[in-house]
Structure 1
Amino acid sequence: MQQLTLFPESASTLLVTYYPEFLTLAEADELYEHCQQLQWQQNQIKMLGKTMAVPRLECIYGDEGCDYLYSKSVLLKPQPWTKPLAQLRDRITAATGYSFRIVIGNQYRSGKDSIGWHNDNEASMGLDPAIASISLGSVRKFQIKAIGGKPTDFWLEHGSLLVMLPGCQATHLHQVPKTTKFVTTRINLTFRPHVGGKR
């Protein structure tokens, strides 16, 4: 399995690992079709005293009771694992050595859908979580930067796996920016640990 690494400052501080062909084309196509049937919703978020629609669709699947709150305003309650998502979780765990209890899906319907600069530092994931991200569908720009630093652009391909390693959320920010270019739907599945819920 081909592996590329970003931020190779030293062997002990690698923060992001990328597998451009983690899934075969047939596997990625089949998973993309499965994801079309997931329970997507457009949530509302409170920012700067205003309530607005999240600029993408979201869903969550995982272990019972592993609720996920982000931005102190959006609460996601997981649906039970589907068989394909559970199988993918186990495959990622086998490849990376990291365990996951939830998967959050983001559906970017067009270039207008996005997610701004942020880090995933919610307490429910525990200290220094690893987050594994599967990309499906249209290729979109993913940017990551050290806090206070300059961004590195990365193009996430259909069937690829990006792993943000432990420590990344404490030192780096990431985003999927809007684009004026014509793009079709992209689905992103982010597998995450969780310290609560039922095991």
Structure 2
Amino acid sequence: MELWAESPQWITLPQGRLLWWPDAFVSEADAWFEQLQAEIPWQQHRLRLFGREHDEPRLSCWMGEAVYRYSGKTREPAVWHPLVNEIRKQVQVICEQPFNGVLLNRYRHGQDSMGWHADNEPELGANPVIASISLGATRGFTLRHKDGERRQLMLSHGSLLVMAGEMQHHWQHALPKAGAVDRERINLTFRYLPRHRESE
């Protein structure tokens, strides 16, 4: 199936587009993983579900040039880490798209996860481009269209996945729990907040 091709390619889905590049950053992945694991100011945030506060099942860090509101919380950005900023520049060239923020997630083991959601916050504009780099453990990434169609990708060490077009309006995505996984995974999801005006 074309989603598992080894070379980068845009894949057209119903009401959306994916760029899937499994070995995009394989040569850099080990060094990136170790440095980000040690140097990012990871935090475990709280979220409200059914009227109760819970720890998010992962660690995270919002970084960049703009405040970002998601999951009902407002996140102040950490300043660009030099390595993350360098990765951002490389991803911008590939996507031909600027990015002024990145959400980093650290999944400590297979019980850490991300539930069904779409990156459709108003701050991201009409048809946001979301570029996702995976480092560490391979994890299953599931997509579901509002009409019920599902797709799954195995996001491997050093891979790049870009969601574009109308994806965030018609598709949701999730990173389910994976009981057999005992290794960590770090994910960088670059995005652009068009309403943010950079200081002159």
TM-score by length of 1: 0.90
Instruction: Spell out, residue by residue over 1:113-159, the C-alpha distance to the aligned partner (whole angstroms, 9 max, x if none).
Output: 00011101111111210000000000000001111313211100101
**Matched residue type, 1:35:** L
Structure 1 gaps, min length 5: none
Q: 3-state SS of the aligned residue for 1:84?
A: helix
1:2 aligns with 2:15: no
Which residue in the other structure is 1:139 paired with? 138
1:162 aligns with 2:164: no
Instruction: Spell out, residue by residue over 1:62-103, the C-alpha distance to the aligned partner (whole angstroms, 9 max, x if none).
Output: 11xx1111122x222111111211111111111111111001
Check whether the contact 2:103–2:190 (CA below 8 A) recurs between aligned residues: yes
Which residue in the other structure is 1:93 paired with? 92
CA distance in 1, matches of 2:136, 2:7: 20
**Matched residue type, 1:168:** M
Deviation at 1:51, TM superposition (A): 0.8
For 1:43-192, list aligned pairs within 5 A. 43-63=45-65, 66-72=66-72, 74-192=73-191
Instruction: Say if 1:147 and 1:113 are closer, same or farther in 2 by CA, change over 3 A.
Output: same
CA distance in 2, matches of 1:197, 1:35: 28
Instruction: Spell out, residue by residue over 1:24-63, the C-alpha distance to the aligned partner (whole angstroms, 9 max, x if none).
Output: 33x1111111211100000001121111111110101111
Give 2:17's match in structure 1, choosing from 9, 15, 18. Answer: 15
Instruction: Spell out, residue by residue over 1:168-196, the C-alpha distance to the aligned partner (whole angstroms, 9 max, x if none).
Output: 10110000001221330000000000122
Check whether the contact 1:67–1:197 (CA below 8 A) recurs between aligned residues: no
% identical equivalent positions: 34
CA distance in 2, matches of 1:153, 1:58: 23
CA distance in 2, matches of 1:153, 1:107: 20
CA distance in 2, matches of 1:160, 1:68: 25
**Range with bigger deviation, 74-83 or 90-99:** 74-83
Deviation at 1:104, TM superposition (A): 0.5
Structure 2 gaps, min length 5: 1-5
Check whether the contact 1:5–1:14 (CA below 8 A) recurs between aligned residues: no
**Range with bigger deviation, 132-141 or 79-88:** 79-88
Deviation at 1:7, TM superposition (A): 4.5
Provide the aligned length of Structure 1 versus Structure 2.
Answer: 192
